[in-house]
Amino acid sequence: MSDKSGIRTACWDVAHDPAAVSGAREQVKEVLTTWGLDDLADDVVLVVAELLSNAIRHGAPPIRLSLWGAAEDLCVRVTDHGEGRPRQLPTNTEAVHGRGLPIIAALAHDFGVVPHSTGPGKTIWARWPLTDGPPRTTVAAQISIPRSRPAPEGVMPTANDHESNDR
């Protein structure tokens, strides 16, 4: 779907089931191909998988996945209604978990978390510039826990963001 400002959106309600991640990856790849963003597809799909896996494992339903494409940026958002916040776990060669945030930091230009103002939950977002811009400032080896901060303009939901499966 594209609105009058040229912003393209795709939104899905995602089941609170780890098996739902695979289907979401396929849908995101299809949308990015349709939007002509094949060059970002692998990175975006991996970030989506990490964000959804964390929302399913640590969050609470309902879970919503949104893609927003504008002339300047592509943004992914995953919203869940759990009380927990993303945190960096200690990692070592034996660790089974704890690599998600460094993966996201390595692949996305920017990312963060915005807590819901009206109850439990949060929206975790990741962004990629579609125009030449400054280099990434986050290095996976130096990642810290994303602090609560406003998302870039156009990243957070609007009143029209409650339609499902829009393209």
Q: What is the rounded average pLDDT for all residues in the chain? A: 79
Extents of the domains making up the chain: 8-149
In the chain, DSSP finds a helix count (H) and a strand count (E) of 3, 5
- Parallel, antiparallel, or unpaired: how do β-strands 63-69 and 73-80 relate? antiparallel
Mean pLDDT of 51-72: 93
Q: Is pLDDT of 94 > 80?
A: no
Q: Is pLDDT of 99 > 60?
A: yes
Mean pLDDT of 100-104: 84
- The answer to whether residues 77 and 96 touch, using CB atoms and an 8 Å cutoff, is no
Rounded to an integer, what distance in angstroms lies between the CA atom of residue 87 and that of residue 144?
8
Mean pLDDT of 1-15: 81
| Domain covering 8-149, topology | Heat Shock Protein 90 (3.30.565)
How many angstroms separate the Cα of 38 from the Cα of each of 28, 29, 32, 35, 42? Answer: 11, 8, 6, 8, 8
Under the banding of pLDDT at 50, 70 and 90, the label for residue 165 is very low
Mean pLDDT of 45-55: 95
pLDDT at residue 84, rounded to an integer: 78
pLDDT digits (tens, 9 = 90+) for 116-143: 888 899 999 999 999 865 544 433 333 3
pLDDT at residue 85, rounded to an integer: 76
Q: Is pLDDT of 26 > 90?
A: yes
Q: Is pLDDT of 159 > 50?
A: no
Residues 6+ apart with CB under 8 A from 1: 8, 9, 10, 163, 166, 167
Nearest to 124 by CA among 72, 70, 69, 58: 58
Under the banding of pLDDT at 50, 70 and 90, the label for residue 4 is low
pLDDT at residue 87, rounded to an integer: 64
